[in-house]
Chain A
């Protein structure tokens, strides 16, 4: 009886870590959604594509460097660096071209513009690169010390968990304690008032897009290395789930995005493990509906009070 319990416990732990890893993957993308929403109240549908571009950049750089025989660590750092810069440039440009001119337009206009940008970037990569699936190199090696627990938490799982934790920590510190962070919070609270006290709102919004895109690029590199394949469409599917996670946690809230992602990941993992993977999405979205019924602003979201 005791042994039976232990076997089941193992299974639970395996599913738990699978869910946490999946949640951390969502979180890397969800953070960008939630930051942009927090500042300008826009759901940046092109964010998934920025993540995809990050993965492609990392793929190209890593492939070229491995031809020249660079050591793995150098490849990871250089590919990550290139992905971050390239994705940030895209994020910045997308904001300048598609959202800034619409800053004073009705809310629906930038939303449509974002969807357009998403479709544009997908097709741009499809035409400029390829429609095929590409094998992404395994940038995170199998650490020997992870071998005893590899069937539960692999090396790439561990790296994703650690990176997500570090990024969340840094982000919290930046927003709580730095000048930029303070300016971001001010802009989020009241854009007109922030301008009046001398904050360059446009620069702050650009900075938000750059930080969000950089996070997506890091996510792109880690996740693509974890899955082992990329194509132009990966951003759309991952983006939808990450967006769901951000809404679940309360869009606009940074701890909320991480919490929402972890809950979504765990729900999917346990739903697959104990019920059926046929209903994975059914459980995930039922949970979303339930939480939004009882807490419309999400788990950690602040209720927006409208002054009349």
Chain B
């Protein structure tokens, strides 16, 4: 008897749920569902919220013009707090709510965790900020695109800058043996070797957190290197730069995005002067970037935050692809993204076969008077 009752309740609940979901299913026919996922709360919220604003701006523009082929775009926002375990839930929720394209996620770890769910559902995903190489290089995620260059693109930038801009030929490549720094150093070494213009006189890994780097600095000096390319983060970089000054070693110091951090300048102090570091290209002087920023100020009354340009560009590229393809079918969207250029705040971009944007890259910055300045 008891069993019967619970079965009845279950059946009733199932019917109710079906009834509740019916209007949603009905609406799907005349709107395009645009998912936005990323950190919208927690300590990394400042990375994710600008993306939501960017999506709102782009979608409001499209809807004001009557939508795409008569269909309005509907925004679905999911918070993943930049945590991989939450990101899988957010992805599942977006897919089950019928999201046809997703802008996000923000953090690399969360994006990698969420991607298999979108891939199986054949949903196009475009991130403004996830830089892990594997997302595009592994070939595992044919539905993934991004408007930020991958980590690996930093290596050729560093090598090219040392060889061609500074005209140096003897280069020491040092890394911190970590997941971030070592591949970058290896990439730089490869780029230098292949260029034929310079020589890697030293390639070594150092132990992060060591009390003293004098031995490696002496070794760099002994190698006759004119420049040091370092793959790693700022704590080690500031120790090495300080030790280079102490040991009177005059060589250019070129490093990656992990060093292009204001903490580096704060900790290394005057030793930081003259250090070069790679960072995402400065797009603030692009006409469409200025326009997008002004639009943000007009609507939200504040300055846009991190990754806003990338997010705005991604939203624009996706909306453009839906319009040109006339559907949200993954293959059709991919074809448009890979073949047609679109004018966005980060530049006039299209995408390559892997999913990385063509026409964007890294720039070189130098510490001048306690600030990172773009090297022209």
Which residues of chain A are near B177, meaning CB under 8 Å?
A: 278
Q: How far is the CA of A150 from the CA of B214 in the complex (A)?
A: 12
| Residues in A22-41 with C-beta less than 8 Å from chain B | 22, 25-26
Which residues of chain A are near B190, meaning CB under 8 Å?
A: none
Checking B205, B210, B247, B267 against A135 with a beta-carbon cut-off of 8 angstroms, the contacting residue is B267
CB atoms of A19 and B215 under 8 A apart:
yes
Q: Given A135-B267, A135-B269, A229-B235, check contact A25 B211 (CB 8 Å).
A: yes
Which residues of chain A are near B267, meaning CB under 8 Å?
A: 133-135, 228-229
| Residues in A145-169 with C-beta less than 8 Å from chain B | 150-151, 154, 156-157
Q: How far is the CA of A154 from the CA of B206 in the complex (A)?
A: 21
CB atoms of B238 and A18 under 8 A apart:
no
A163 to chain B, nearest CB (A): 15
| Residues in B196-252 with C-beta less than 8 Å from chain A | 204-207, 209-212, 214-216, 218-219, 221-222, 234-235, 238-239, 242, 246-249
Which residues of chain B are near A15, meaning CB under 8 Å?
A: 215, 218
Which residues of chain A are near B222, meaning CB under 8 Å?
A: 11, 273
Which residues of chain A are near B216, meaning CB under 8 Å?
A: 272, 277
Q: How far is the CA of A133 from the CA of B246 in the complex (A)?
A: 20
Which residues of chain B are near A268, meaning CB under 8 Å?
A: 215
Q: Is B8 an interface residue (CB 8 A)?
A: no
Which residues of chain B are near A270, meaning CB under 8 Å?
A: 215
CB atoms of A18 and B215 under 8 A apart:
yes
Q: How far is the CA of A228 from the CA of B266 in the complex (A)?
A: 11
Q: Is A58 an interface residue (CB 8 A)?
A: no
CB atoms of B211 and A22 under 8 A apart:
yes
| Residues in A196-241 with C-beta less than 8 Å from chain B | 223, 226-229, 231, 233-234, 237-238, 241
- Dominant SS among interface residues on chain A: helix
Q: Is A178 an interface residue (CB 8 A)?
A: no
Q: Is B268 an interface residue (CB 8 A)?
A: yes
Q: Is A132 an interface residue (CB 8 A)?
A: yes
Q: Is B348 an interface residue (CB 8 A)?
A: no
Q: Is B46 an interface residue (CB 8 A)?
A: no
Please name the residue on chain B nearest to A150 by beta carbon.
Answer: B248
CB atoms of A277 and B209 under 8 A apart:
no
Q: Which of B210, B212, B239, B267 has the most CB of A within 10 A?
A: B212
Q: Is B263 an interface residue (CB 8 A)?
A: yes
Write the B171-214 contact mask toward A (1 if CB under 8 angstroms, else 0). 00000010000000000000000000000000011110111101
Please name the residue on chain B nearest to A233 by beta carbon.
Answer: B209
CB atoms of A227 and B263 under 8 A apart:
no
B243 to chain A, nearest CB (A): 9
A269 to chain B, nearest CB (A): 4
Q: Is A129 an interface residue (CB 8 A)?
A: no
Known: A150-B246, A227-B212, A241-B211. 5 other contacts (CB 8 A): A26-B211, A226-B212, A228-B268, A231-B235, A278-B177
Q: Pull 19 A–B residue pairs with CB atoms less than 8 Å apart, ordered by A.
A: A14-B247, A15-B215, A17-B214, A18-B212, A19-B215, A22-B211, A133-B235, A133-B238, A133-B263, A133-B267, A135-B266, A135-B268, A151-B249, A227-B211, A269-B214, A273-B222, A277-B205, A277-B215, A277-B219
Binding site for A on B (CB under 8 A): 177, 204-207, 209-212, 214-216, 218-219, 221-222, 234-235, 238-239, 242, 246-249, 263, 266-269, 271
Binding site for B on A (CB under 8 A): 11, 14-15, 17-19, 21-22, 25-26, 132-135, 150-151, 154, 156-157, 223, 226-229, 231, 233-234, 237-238, 241, 268-270, 272-273, 276-278, 280-281
* The 9 residue pairs across chains A and B that have the minimum distance between CB atoms: A18-B214, A272-B215, A237-B209, A269-B215, A151-B248, A14-B218, A278-B205, A135-B267, A22-B212
